[in-house]
Amino acid sequence: MESRSQLYIGGAWVDPVETGRITVENPATGEPIATIPEGGAADVDRAVAAARAAFPTWAGLSRAERRDYLVRVRDALAARQEEIGRVIATDVGTPLRIATKIQASLPITDLGVYIDALAEPEREERVGNTIIAREPAGVVAAITPWNYPLHQITCKIAPALAAGCTVVLKPSEVAPLTAFILMDVIDEAGLPAGAVNLVTGYGPQVGEALVTHPEVDVVSFTGSVPTGTRVAALAAASVKRVTLELGGKSANVILDDADLAVAVKVGVANAFLNGGQTCTAWTRMLVPAERHDEAVALAKAAAETYLAGDPLDPATRLGPLVSAGQKKRVLDYIQAGIDSGATLVTGGLEDPTRPDGSAPAAGGHFVRATVFANVDPDSVIAQEEIFGPVLSIIPFTDEADALAIANNSAYGLHGAVWSADQDRAIAFARRVRTGQVDVNGAAHNPRAPFGGYKHSGIGREMGLAAMDEFTETKSIQV
């Protein structure tokens, strides 16, 4: 079993002040695979002090110098991509093929976006007799989740570092192992001491100490709505800038002229990516009422190819959920769907089996790929983020009804629309109240701003917009 006993603070691996330990488990088996430090407020104090001390040095580097450091980090992560994919398959449960192709490659892309940005001249705007400049905001607290554990870190620290900020990172204690790999890489890359610091631990101790720390200038948080609202409330006491990425309940709208077979197949794949533990998952599939049964048959056939299995098996498409608690949460939602009167098409409450009838693994947190049809758009399974492999198919009468259902959500992070007429699809996308909409399965663009409306959060990650979240705007009259 792997043991990480130290925190990364001030450019060195150091013993924590606190002596507690956190056990990390393999969700496919329920067995412990590692232990990490359980840091506390005293460790946060040391890390923030190191970041504050490093800030003048890091902020004072030229764009080319910061770029060179990010290149070293990116290249070192690229060299360890296979290792990172295997670690994520083991502590998150993401199937190995996806863990390597997406989970381990996105961080490399994240860094590349800001490496390219730093190759461009500083952005300065002039309005009349005023120079509008952007300056690094200071010390950033980055608090990240477990579902995309390394990408959610790099999409925060890469723009923060590019903007000239220093960082204290608190990763999720559920899947923290790639954060330690990243700190090894940062140490090898020789970043100035204190530019990036790592304190592991639980939210009520480490997270809240960071959010309330007087020397932290910006808090960037990704996680649940209840935790995000608490982060915002705590940060408000010291007037910190806060960015929140809090999840979604995305609608995949298939208009009446769309290629139904393609749209359903892609929609099912999106909904079940990473076991449905993806904030952008298209978990509501909206289909024309007259084609509902056809869509249901297509979705059933597609979903039943997602058999739960060992995430280290390259053939596995559906791994376990990350924890026993997450499994219970998802099963409770499946029961709520049954109780609501929705039609259970496939999947359900029983433990999944392999084609030969055997269980994927004893002790693993597996849930069947589940599809509901004839779902009431106001029901619990259509309104709340489940974070598991559960898809709701909702019929609509016409385009206006589809738009009303799509916007009938407290969330507004992502979504999709399909039509044979691209102009029609784009016009529909403009009216959907979400931060991103994919038209006809268009590819994700890591250089575009990412974030949501309503309960999906505040601010933007990725692209140049993310750098702006870590800067202050100054007007200089001349």
Q: How confident is the model at residue 18 (pLDDT cuts 50, 70, 90)?
A: confident
Of the pLDDT bands very low, low, confident and very high (cuts 50, 70, 90), residue 281 is very high
* Percentage above 90 pLDDT, the chain: 95
Split at pLDDT 50, 70, 90, the class of 457 is: very high
pLDDT at residue 61, as a whole number: 98
In the set 25, 173, 279, 385, the catalytic residue is 279
Answer whether residue 360 shows pLDDT above 80.
Answer: no
C-alpha–C-alpha distance, residues 363 and 360, integer Å: 9
Identify the pLDDT of residue 362.
72
* pLDDT at residue 348 tops 90: yes
pLDDT of residue 282: 98
What whole-number distance in Å separates Cα of residue 441 and Cα of residue 439? 6
Question: If you average pLDDT over every residue of the chain, what do you get?
Answer: 96
How confident is the model over 209-258, as pLDDT tens digits? Answer: 999 999 999 999 999 999 999 999 999 999 999 999 999 999 999 999 99
Tens-digit pLDDT profile for residues 288-315: 999 999 999 999 999 999 999 999 998 8
Which one of the listed residues 18, 38, 173, 245 is annotated catalytic?
A: 245
* b/e per residue 165-188 (b: at least 16 CB within 10 A): bbbbbbbbbbbbbbbbbbbebbee
The yes-or-no answer on residue 294 being catalytic is no
pLDDT digits (tens, 9 = 90+) for 191-209: 999 999 999 999 999 999 9
- The model's pLDDT over 122-176, given as tens digits with 9 standing for 90+, comes to 888 999 999 999 999 999 999 999 999 999 999 999 999 999 999 999 999 999 9
The pLDDT value given to residue 358: 73
d(CA 224, CA 145): 9
- C-beta separation of 418 from 432 below 8 A: no
- Over 90: is that where the pLDDT of 363 sits? no
Sorting pLDDT into bands at 50, 70 and 90, what band is 472?
very high
pLDDT at 376: 98
pLDDT for the residue numbered 324? 95
Q: How far apart are the first and last CA of the chain?
A: 62
Question: Could you tell me if 308 and 361 are in contact, meaning their C-beta atoms sit under 8 angstroms apart?
Answer: no
On the question of pLDDT at 25 being above 80, the answer is: yes
Return all residues near 309 (Cβ < 8 A) that are at least 6 apart: 95, 315, 316, 317, 318, 319, 354, 360
Beta bridge partners of 318: 308
Asked if pLDDT for residue 426 goes beyond 80, the answer is yes
Residue 10 confidence class, pLDDT cut points 50, 70, 90: very high
Reply yes or no on whether 279 is catalytic.
yes
The structural domains of the chain, ordered by start, are 2-246+456-477 (3.40.605.10), 251-445 (3.40.309.10)
Contact 88, 304 (CB under 8 A): no
Q: Which residue has the tokens 């009349």?
A: 128
Is 351 a residue whose pLDDT tops 80? Answer: yes
Q: Does pLDDT of 361 surpass 90?
A: no
Radius of gyration of the chain (CA): 23
d(CA 337, CA 367) in angstroms, rounded, equals: 15
Overall average pLDDT of the 320-340 stretch? 97
Give the C-alpha separation, 355 to 359, whole Å.
9
HSE on the CB side for 418, CA within 13 Å?
A: 23
Helices 81-91 + 63-79 axis angle, to 10: 70
